[in-house]
Chains A and B, each alone.
Chain A
Amino acid sequence: MHQGERPHHAADLAAHVRAAARDRRVELALGALAAGTLALILLMLATVVIGGWPSFSTNGLSWFGPGAGASGDPVVQFRAMQLGVPLPGHPLLYFRAWPLIWGTLLSTVGAVAIALVVSTLAAVFLTEFAPTPVRRVLDPVVRLLAAVPSVIYGLVGLLLIAPWVSQHLISNARRESVQYVVQLSGSGLLTATLVLTVMIVPIMIALTANALANVPPAWREGSVALGVNRWRTIRRVSLRAARPAIVSGMVFGTARALGEAIMLAMIGGGRPFAPNPLDGLTFFYEPIQPLAASIVKEFGDNPNTPIGHTVYAIGAVLLFSAALLSLAGWAVRQPLKRYGIGI
């Protein structure tokens, strides 16, 4: 080997070693960043739970339950916390979340149920029945509905739908029948659930339509060749194949409905109340204030006040629900592979 070559080789080798080391550093750095998301979630859980701990520890498990009598009304409870004057016979942090939880359940379950039907029909229409010009219109329409901010939905609900409901669906007699308990305006369970449905329909349509479009043509052709009309084919073969996607859509939709705060704060009706199904049709017009909306409406700006602790407790409940839903969504995607359906 000549004298001149040795430094050349050495320089190359050094460069390679440096490059490999840099590669390793990059990998570690990015990996740390990725692991940071895990840390973020854990930190969030810890923070929110700690912030809400005083409320949980004061109330125990009855935090989730209904209260009794006049002091069972969250409006009264919040006011007590704001004034710093505890309700007679109760601690300052006394809180019973049941009306909020009930309102959340009603609006979420109602919205997801209606959205399930609507989104499935719409997805079938989009992939199977719509002629191409209609499809080209419906496609951006669905994306538009997904993109509209929730405050606009709230505005439209307040200024368009609620007045209509108030005028045409709620009679004066009905109003009088409950006037000592609640004020019936157009904003209430029905309006809120309907608008919430429109908000969660787009994501469900997206998932279902994608799955329908991916159903193997062999199955569809086989069904048609057996003399089964198009709708029955969709119903018995395509929708069955799309089941994991439909369930997945429901999970996403539920998560969205749970987390919706602004729109429900605007058109939920203004006060936390547990609508009573025994009230008959009035049930649909009674106001609700679901958990997320309650945070928006009741929070001041200081986390270290009684209201602050209560609000953080509500936030912890929401966070756990979101995490559980996420796990459920993952579990749903262990699909009916046995029957040949994947997602």
Chain B
Amino acid sequence: MTAAEPALQPPPVAAIVRPRRESTSSWPLVDRLAYWLCWAVGIGLCVVAVGIVLFMFIKGISALRPNLFVESPSQGVLQEKHSGGFLDPLIGTFIVTAIGIAIALPVGVGIAVWLVEYGRPRWLMRTVESAIEMIAGIPSIVLALFGLLLFARSFFGLLSGSTSAGEVLGQSFFNAGIVMSVLALPLIVVATREALLQLPARTREASFALGKTRATTVRRVLLPSIRPGVASGAVLGMGRIIGDTAIILILLGTLKLEGAGGAPLLSTLRGTGSTLTYYIYYYAPTGDGNSPKKAYAAGFVLLMIVLGLNALVTRLTLRGSGERAAVRGIFVRAWPWSGGRPWGGGR
């Protein structure tokens, strides 16, 4: 057969048959079951998430009143279910988060910079990387225990108040904040490290070629360009701090702000108090307060804060250069499959 004649006109567009994706109807039953199971799990997860948010939303909105935001918690003998608010816990959350991030951010960035830019000797670098991962895996309750034992010594007397017996209490906003910073540290280190690794080598080479030292390069060139990455790590750290209860239980633990005496700000910071998480734990049915309505209201506020932070992280990471996910560590920064890649590639 020889097609020697000149090419015919291409068939009209209407004649194009477009095949559909491989339908599963031809698969064996077992495979179809697996396919449906995948679908079920995917949809099920959505249902669970929506369920949690809806539940807290509905219960929380009904229990939420403006005065809750501005009143301190009441601690009467009777269950005063309609009085008191969570002003103190809100302030407490803010203080603890601020202290935690204020410590974790510079330390974390510094460690990440050393890991990526210096990193000698190499055995030390690898050990430190493993150590950061190990710290990420330590339960917060254990961190809290460690913190208490460490800070309840007269050496750290400045950081907290004293008991009536004159011993160092060990519980204060300072101490809670310091331990919280350990919580946030791995997140910040990982985020900064990944961001630094994404920077092309020529950025550094160009700076060195101009005669700048490594320290100056880091400070003037590298750090400014990784701000979104560091910011997303910091926000993830904040989310983790805000959501933690165990450290507050051990290292704070009074509903209302109780100062430790002395100058106003210092007194508060050396004193104890609570956070939103502790407030919820206290007023949950299993806590001493057992006032579900208050728990719902505070829970709703907490959830909104955390979701807001989450959305902030998404915006920060997408506004960055859309790098691959940093999975070594705890949370994912940019999920590689969102953005969609059709099954198969074709040519």
Contact = CB atoms under 8 A, between A and B. Distances in A.
Contacts of A237: none
A30 B152 contact: no
B138 A322 contact: yes
Interface in B95-114: 107, 110-111, 113-114
Contacts of A118: 41, 45
Contacts of B111: 30, 33-34, 37
B62 to A, nearest CB: 13
Contacts of A312: 145, 149
B290 to A, nearest CB: 11
A161 B42 CA distance: 21
A130 B46 CA distance: 13
Contacts of A232: 31
Given A27-B118, A147-B310, A296 B141 contact: yes
B343 A230 contact: yes
Interface stretch (A39-47, A89-97, A170-178): A39-47
Nearest to B253: A301
Most buried by B among A38, A126, A155: A155
A315 B149 CA distance: 12
B45 A23 contact: no
Given A30-B110, A217-B344, A261-B139, A47 B284 contact: no
A129 B125 CA distance: 40
Contacts of B152: 303
B245 A41 contact: no
Given A151-B280, A155-B284, A303-B148, A126 B42 contact: yes
B137 to A, nearest CB: 4
Contact of B45 (A26, A124, A141): A141
Interface residues of A, number: 106
Interface string B21-37: 01010110001001101
Interface in B191-229: 213-216
Contacts of A292: 139, 141, 246
A282 B307 CA distance: 37
Interface in A203-228: 203, 206-207, 209-210, 213-214, 217, 220-221, 224
Contact of A37 (B22, B128, B330): B128
A122 B41 contact: yes
B272 to A, nearest CB: 10
B35 A150 contact: no
Contacts of A40: 131, 135, 182
A145 B49 contact: yes
Contacts of B249: 296, 299
Interface stretch (B11-19, B74-82, B236-244, B263-271): B236-244
A40 B26 CA distance: 59
Given A47-B146, A125-B38, A295 B141 contact: yes
A121 B38 CA distance: 5
A190 B284 CA distance: 20
Given A48-B149, A201-B45, A262-B246, A144 B114 contact: no
B217 to A, nearest CB: 10
B331 interface: yes
Contacts of B85: none
Interface in B244-298: 244-246, 249-250, 253, 277, 280-281, 284-286, 292, 295-296
Contact of A323 (B134, B145, B214): B134
A213 B336 contact: yes
Contacts of A33: 107, 110-111, 114
A44 B38 CA distance: 43
B344 A152 contact: no
Interface string A170-210: 00000000000000000000000000001001010011011
A240 interface: no
A206 B325 contact: yes
Contact of A266 (B120, B132, B284, B344): B284
Contacts of A122: 38, 41-42, 45
A164 B41 CA distance: 22
Nearest to B38: A125
B64 interface: no
Most buried by A among B114, B145, B295: B145
B284 A146 contact: no
Interface in B38-72: 38-39, 41-42, 45-46, 48-50, 52-53, 55-56, 59
Nearest to A259: B139
Given A20-B213, A144-B310, A158-B285, A47 B245 contact: no
B243 A210 contact: no
B182 to A, nearest CB: 7
B106 to A, nearest CB: 9
A258 B132 CA distance: 18
B309 interface: yes
Given A33-B111, A198-B48, A19 B338 contact: no
B149 A51 contact: yes
B338 A139 contact: yes
B184 to A, nearest CB: 13
Given A23-B215, A130-B42, A295-B145, 8 more contacts: A47-B146, A118-B45, A121-B42, A135-B338, A149-B242, A151-B281, A152-B56, A203-B330
13 contacts: A30-B111, A40-B182, A124-B38, A127-B337, A138-B42, A141-B50, A146-B331, A147-B310, A149-B302, A151-B243, A152-B52, A231-B27, A322-B137
Interface of A: 19-20, 22-23, 26-27, 29-31, 33-35, 37-38, 40-41, 43-44, 47-48, 50-51, 118, 121-122, 124-130, 132, 134-156, 158-160, 198, 201, 203, 206-207, 209-210, 213-214, 217, 220-221, 224, 229-232, 235, 245, 252, 255, 258-262, 265-267, 270, 292, 295-296, 299, 301, 303, 311-312, 315, 318-319, 322-323, 325-326, 329-330
